[in-house]
């Protein structure tokens, strides 16, 4: 389900902040709320997103997600496949491993 609450909050906040023209404020608020709902402001290199998790995932969930994804995208599973498919699997497995390593590093620091 798509998020909608950013648009709603933006509507009311924009209308309240621009009292001179509440309709314009509401429109601007809805546009900004849509940007937040669509994750336009989220960092694209989020390691949790690569593994399909949120930042509050436990260590066991991180390990399980990494194992599941690396088993799915490991290049050795595609030994007889086309070269392009193997290259894509190698790139994806590098991305998965980098995200896993980044999460482990962040959690050791914290």
pTM of the complete model: 0.59
> Tens of pLDDT along the chain (110 residues)?
477 878 888 888 888 888 888 888 888 888 888 888 777 776 667 899 999 999 899 999 999 999 999 999 988 888 888 888 889 999 999 999 999 999 999 898 76
Q: How many CB atoms lie within 10 A of CB 48?
A: 17
- Mapping DSSP to helix (H, G, I), strand (E, B) and coil, where does residue 1 land? coil
Dump the DSSP string for 57-73: --HHHHHHHHHHHHHHH
- Of 65, 66, 86, 67, whose CA–CA distance to 75 is shortest? 86
- d(Cα 26, Cα 18) in Å, to the nearest integer? 8
| Alpha-carbon dihedral angle through residues 26, 30, 32, 34, given to the nearest 10 degrees | 180
* Domains, the chain, ordered by start: 5-37 (no CATH), 47-109 (1.10.287.110)
């Amino acid at each position: 389900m798509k998020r909608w609450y950013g648009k709603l909050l933006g509507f009311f906040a924009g209308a309240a902040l621009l009292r001179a023209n509440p309709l314009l404020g509401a429109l601007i608020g809805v546009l900004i709320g849509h940007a937040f709902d669509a994750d336009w402001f989220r960092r694209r290199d989020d390691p949790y997103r690569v593994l399909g998790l949120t930042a509050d995932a436990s260590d066991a969930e991180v390990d399980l997600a990494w194992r599941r994804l690396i088993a799915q995208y490991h290049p050795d599973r595609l030994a007889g496949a086309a070269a392009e498919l193997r290259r894509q699997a190698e790139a994806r497995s590098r991305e998965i491993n980098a995200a896993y390593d980044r999460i482990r590093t962040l959690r050791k620091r914290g």
